[in-house]
């Protein structure tokens, strides 16, 4: 999978999770808490969403060190094994995952 695809998907996740624009979400120098306004809960939710989207597990000790967009991007690039270039995608450009499919089904039933 290309690093550009990972960067784009991570940018989308950050935008949706933290409510920031694409320019801020994709700026690799930005600190997730200080510059993007994440608090401890939204940071944990962001990490969980990244884990789900890229089917990786980020240990708590590692998560505590992933404080910039660049650090998180590098971690994902080094640890994911998904072939996102050929994976089906859901609304928002995120790959289908168990959580995405369950959320879609849940919203379809309720809506």
| Residues acting as catalytic residues | 39
What are the φ/ψ torsions at residue 53 (nearest 5 degrees)?
A: -65, -35
What's the burial of 66, exposed, middle or buried (CB within 10 Å: 0-12/13-18/19+)?
buried
């Amino acid at each position: 999978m290309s690093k550009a695809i990972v960067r784009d998907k991570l940018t989308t996740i950050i935008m949706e999770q933290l409510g920031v624009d694409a320019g801020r979400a994709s700026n690799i120098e930005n600190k997730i808490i200080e510059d993007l306004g994440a608090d401890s809960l939204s940071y944990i939710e962001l990490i969980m969403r990244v884990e789900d989207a890229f089917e990786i597990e980020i240990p708590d000790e590692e998560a505590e060190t992933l404080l910039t967009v660049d650090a998180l991007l590098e971690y994902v690039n080094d640890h994911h094994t998904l072939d996102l270039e050929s994976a089906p995608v859901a609304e928002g450009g995120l790959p289908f995952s168990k959580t995405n499919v369950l959320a879609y089904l849940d919203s379809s039933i309720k809506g």
